[in-house]
Amino acid sequence: MVNLVSAEAIEKSYGKDPVLAGVSLGVAQGERIGVVGRNGGGKSTLLRILAGIEVADAGKVTHNSELRLGHLTQVDVVDKSQLVSSFIFGNQQTHAWASNSLARDVISGLFGSLESELLNRELGQLSGGELRRVALARLLISDLNLIFLDEPTNHLDINGINWLAHHLRTRKNLAVIVVTHDRWFLDEISDRVWEVVNGSVAEYDGGYSAFVLAKAERLRQAAAEDARRNNLIRKELAWLRRGAPARTTKPKFRVDAANQLISKEPPPRDQAELLNFAVNRLGKRVYELHDVSLTLPGGVAILKNVTLDFGPGIRYGILGNNGVGKTTLLKLLTGSTLPTSGRVQTGTTVKAGYLSQHLDELDPSFRVLEAVEQISHHVDLGNGKELSASQLCERLGFGADLQWTPVSDLSGGERRRLQLTRILMSGPNVVILDEPTNDFDVETLASLEDLLDGFAGTLLVVSHDRYFLERVCDQLYLLDGSGGIAHLPGGIEQYLNQDAVTLQTITQTEKPKVNIWQLQKDLTKVERKLTQLGEKVIEIQLRMASATNDYQQLQELQSELEITQVSQQEFEVKWLELLAEIETGQKSSNS
Among residues 332, 350, 349, the alpha carbon closest in space to that of 341 is found at: 332
Using DSSP bridges, classify how beta strands 458-462 and 430-434 pair: parallel, antiparallel or unpaired: parallel
Q: Work out the widest C-alpha separation in the chain, in whole angstroms.
A: 80
Cα radius of gyration rounded to whole Å, the chain: 25
Q: List the alpha helices (DSSP H) in 120-246.
A: 128-141, 158-170, 183-189, 208-221, 227-241
How does residue 329 score in pLDDT terms, banded at 50, 70 and 90? very high
Reduced to 3 states (helix: H, G, I; strand: E, B; else coil), residue 128 is: helix
Query: What is the reported pLDDT for 418?
Result: 92
CA distance linking residue 138 with residue 481, whole number of Å: 28
pLDDT digits (tens, 9 = 90+) for 382-403: 666 788 999 999 988 898 889 9
301, amino acid identity: A
- Out of 163-172, 438-447, 533-542, least confident range: 533-542
Using DSSP bridges, classify how beta strands 386-388 and 175-179 pair: parallel, antiparallel or unpaired: unpaired
Higher pLDDT, 220 or 331: 331
How does residue 220 score in pLDDT terms, banded at 50, 70 and 90? low
Query: What is the reported pLDDT for 377?
Result: 94
How does residue 224 score in pLDDT terms, banded at 50, 70 and 90? very low
Query: What is the reported pLDDT for 251?
Result: 45
What is the average per-residue pLDDT within 207-216? 82
Kindly tell me if the per-residue pLDDT of 10 is higher than 90: yes
pLDDT digits (tens, 9 = 90+) for 506-554: 654 444 445 677 777 788 888 888 888 888 888 887 776 676 556 567 6
Kindly tell me if the per-residue pLDDT of 248 is higher than 90: no
pLDDT digits (tens, 9 = 90+) for 27-47: 999 999 999 998 888 898 999
Kindly tell me if the per-residue pLDDT of 256 is higher than 70: no
Query: What is the reported pLDDT for 148?
Result: 95
CA distance linking residue 301 with residue 292, whole number of Å: 11
Kindly tell me if the per-residue pLDDT of 260 is higher than 60: no
Using DSSP bridges, classify how beta strands 175-179 and 146-150 pair: parallel, antiparallel or unpaired: parallel
Query: What is the reported pLDDT for 513?
Result: 46
How does residue 244 score in pLDDT terms, banded at 50, 70 and 90? very low
pTM recorded for the entire structure? 0.73
CA distance linking residue 526 with residue 531, whole number of Å: 9
Helices (H) and strands (E) in the chain, counts: 21, 20
How does residue 296 score in pLDDT terms, banded at 50, 70 and 90? confident
In whole angstroms, how far apart are CA 31 and each of 5, 442, 483? 11, 22, 43
Reduced to 3 states (helix: H, G, I; strand: E, B; else coil), residue 24 is: strand
Task: Determine the angle formed by the axes of helices 101-111 and 128-141, rounding to 10 degrees.
Answer: 160
DSSP notation for 36-70: EE-TTSSHHHHHHHHHTSS--SEEEEEE-TT--EE
Reduced to 3 states (helix: H, G, I; strand: E, B; else coil), residue 290 is: strand
